[in-house]
């Protein structure tokens, strides 16, 4: 039996008021320096595979689940990149949140790359010099930190 969505539960209590949410994402490299991005169906912009944590789910469980849901890939987080904050994420027109994102490098350990949900319209690897517009500040900061080979960052600063 599938667990009820924590986000739907919270939204049933606070409607569209701005809330704080936790997320996890993964930078997945194809071995040639290109990283996997997904084109989102909601805003038609690109971002890293990942998403929001559910209640009683660890950050690592969330990144594995979200990557699987979106790409059909099984990953193992191999390196922590950092924590990045998106002060204003908006879904639909009025569903707003401050998103705290935990970012990892993910190694593919199984699965075959394919669109696996209705949140993605395209999956593609991009090199550093060919990146498209990235949909959120936390994803942009994660990608920048990855290519700069930085790790253990909070809002772009070492700790």
Point out which residues pair with 83 in neighbouring strands.
102, 154
Q: Is 148 left (phi over 0), alpha (psi -120 to 50) or beta?
A: alpha
- Measured between alpha carbons, how far is residue 35 from residues 27, 80, 146 in Å? 6, 16, 10
Tell whether the torsion through CA atoms of 18, 52, 144 and 49 is positive or negative. Answer: negative
| Residue 70 is among the residues annotated as catalytic for this protein | no
Query: What is the rounded CA–CA span in Å between residue 11 and residue 127?
Result: 37
- Which one is catalytic: 61, 122, 133, 155? 122
Q: Which residues are catalytic?
A: 122
């Amino acid at each position: 039996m599938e667990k009820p969505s924590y986000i739907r539960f919270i939204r049933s209590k606070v409607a569209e008021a701005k809330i704080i949410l936790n997320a996890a994402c993964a930078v997945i490299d194809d071995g040639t320096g290109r990283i996997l991005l997904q084109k989102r169906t909601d805003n038609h912009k690109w971002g890293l595979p990942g998403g929001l944590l559910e209640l009683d789910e660890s950050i690592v469980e969330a990144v594995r689940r979200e990557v699987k849901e979106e790409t059909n890939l099984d990953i193992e987080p191999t390196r922590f990149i950092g924590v990045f904050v998106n002060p204003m994420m908006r879904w639909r027109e009025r569903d707003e949140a401050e998103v705290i994102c935990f970012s990892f490098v993910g190694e593919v350990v199984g699965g075959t790359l394919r669109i696996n949900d209705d949140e993605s319209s395209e999956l593609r690897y991009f090199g550093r010099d060919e990146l498209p517009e990235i949909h959120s500040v936390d994803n942009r900061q994660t990608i920048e930190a990855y290519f700069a080979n930085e790790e253990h960052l909070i809002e772009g600063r070492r700790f």
